[in-house]
Amino acid sequence: MDEWGSAEPSALAFVISERHARGLPLTDLITANPQLHDFEFEPELLRDALARAALAARHYEPDPLGQTRARESVAAYHGGSISPGRIVITPGTSMSYWYAFRLLANPGDNILCPSPTYPLFDDIARLAHVNVRRYHMRRDAGRWAIDPDEIAFQCMPRTRAIVMVSPHNPTGSIAGSDELAAVARIARERGIAFIFDEVFREFAHGGAVVPRPAQFGAPLAVTLNGFSKMFSLPGLKAGWMAVEGEPDLCGRFIEAAACMSDTFLPVSEITQAAMPAIIALGGVETRRFSALCSGRMTDLVQQWNRHGIQTVMPEGGPCMCVPFQEARIESDEEAVIALVREHGILAHPGSFYGLPSPHIVMTCIHRPPWPIDILAEVLK
């Protein structure tokens, strides 16, 4: 078990626990529970969908790919361009990643993942007995862009898949058509798969469009999404993989995924039975959440700029990366520790995500007002 590292809490986790132990309040600007801040799915709609699903689930008819009606509803959400037979229902995106890593790579192979990024891939890769390589996104006029040359450079003989997150977490960049076309070309040339994470697809700001890699001829594109972000329903544990590309590759992947899923049958039958109603009727809720997120993000950007810290409106997603002057504070981790200890404000250090210069990362999920005056004073 030594490979899992020390169980000792980080310095940041320690000061958070210390504050809780003293009974002091903490303003959590990286909240993982959006339901506390107005992102709550309509209770009556959810109640009715789950009640009907509970009745339907009395008759157990398991399918390793997921209930047919659930897969049909996902295929319809995907735009009707994909057969329900190319959908795999999973208990959330993290498990979808594990399925994809385990099925696409053998022990010792590697998966190419972005940097910066949310720190998820290393642990999932360890569980799948594969390795992670990094391709570095580049900062271009305030936007974090995909660099196809960097991806091509980082591809090794044992690289089996390229992971792309769009809208990206935490920078908010949306992979454009030119970027996707270039990376799809690399995938074709190298014979490797595309894993496309679009969990923040519905949180594109300013009418931005989120294209998918299958549109550009990727040989095998596995698109991941689910209920957690789109409908603010992480507790339902509902996700999926949509598999597109060359028929032979898709067929082999689906066959292997069905075998793996059949081993566990991991998704609640009630959840699957509720999926068609939630997807069909939840569009209004998704649009409400998206408008709320965009409005708060716009306000947040304006407030930071008024306080003299220049930030750029992300293209999508709920996260904001806020730069600060390194000379005043030793590191971004020291900055967030000071915020917790002295002001009771919790953000993430940018180094947590692999951002190359000092940042804090916060979300616009938290209900305003935000303590921007205090944050700006500490960071300027």
- The residue that leads in pLDDT, 3 or 192, is 192
Please give the Cα distance from 367 to 228 (Å, whole number). Answer: 19
d(CA 380, CA 375): 8
Residue 69's Cβ-count burial label (10 Å; 0-12, 13-18, 19+) is: middle
Q: Is the pLDDT of residue 284 over 90?
A: yes
DSSP 194-260: EEEE-TTGGGBGGG-----GGGGT-SEEEEEEEHHHHSS-GGG--EEEEEEE-HHHHHHHHHHHHHH
Mean pLDDT for the chain overall: 94
Quick one: what percent of the chain has pLDDT higher than 70? 96
Candidates 250, 176, 180, 161; CA nearest to 208 is 176
Is the pLDDT confidence value at 1 over 60? no
Strand partners, 131: 110
Per-residue pLDDT of 94-126, as tens digits, reads 999 999 999 999 999 999 999 999 999 999 999
**E-only strand ranges, the chain:** 27-28, 87-90, 110-115, 131-136, 138-140, 143-145, 159-165, 193-197, 220-226, 239-245, 319-323, 345-346, 348-349, 359-363
Using alpha carbons, select from 88, 85, 104 the residue that is nearest to residue 96. Answer: 88
The first and second tokens of residue 319, run together, are 């996260």
Token representation of residue 311: 């930030």
Q: Residue type at 98? A: W
pTM for the model stands at 0.95
User: Can you tell me the mean pLDDT for 11-29?
Assistant: 94
- CATH fold of 43-281: Aspartate Aminotransferase; domain 2 (3.40.640)
259-269 as b/e: b if 16+ CB within 10 A = eebeeeeebeb
Domain ranges of the chain: 9-38+284-379, 43-281
* pLDDT at residue 208 greater than cutoff 70: yes
Query: For residue range 147-159, what is the model confidence (pLDDT) as tens digits?
Result: 999 999 999 999 9
CA–CA dist 106, 116 (Å, integer): 25
**Cβ-Cβ contacts under 8 Å for 163 (sequence gap 6 or more):** 111, 112, 113, 114, 121, 195, 197
Residue 243 has a pLDDT of 98
- Tokens 């996707």 belong to residue: 180
Q: What is the CATH number of domain 9-38+284-379?
A: 3.90.1150.10
**Given the DSSP bridges, would you call strands 138-140 and 131-136 parallel, antiparallel or unpaired?**
unpaired
Residues 256 and 243: their CA atoms lie apart, in Å, by: 12
CB 229 within 8 A of CB 290: no
Which residues does residue 321 pair with via DSSP β-bridges, in sequence order?
361
What is the model's pLDDT at position 5? 63
Residue 149 contacts residue 185 (beta carbons within 8 Å)? no
Q: pLDDT by residue (tens digit) across 134-145?
A: 999 998 877 899
Longest pairwise C-alpha distance within the chain = 64
- Residue 41, pLDDT > 90, answer yes
Residue 163, helix vs strand vs coil: strand
Residue 6, pLDDT > 80, answer no
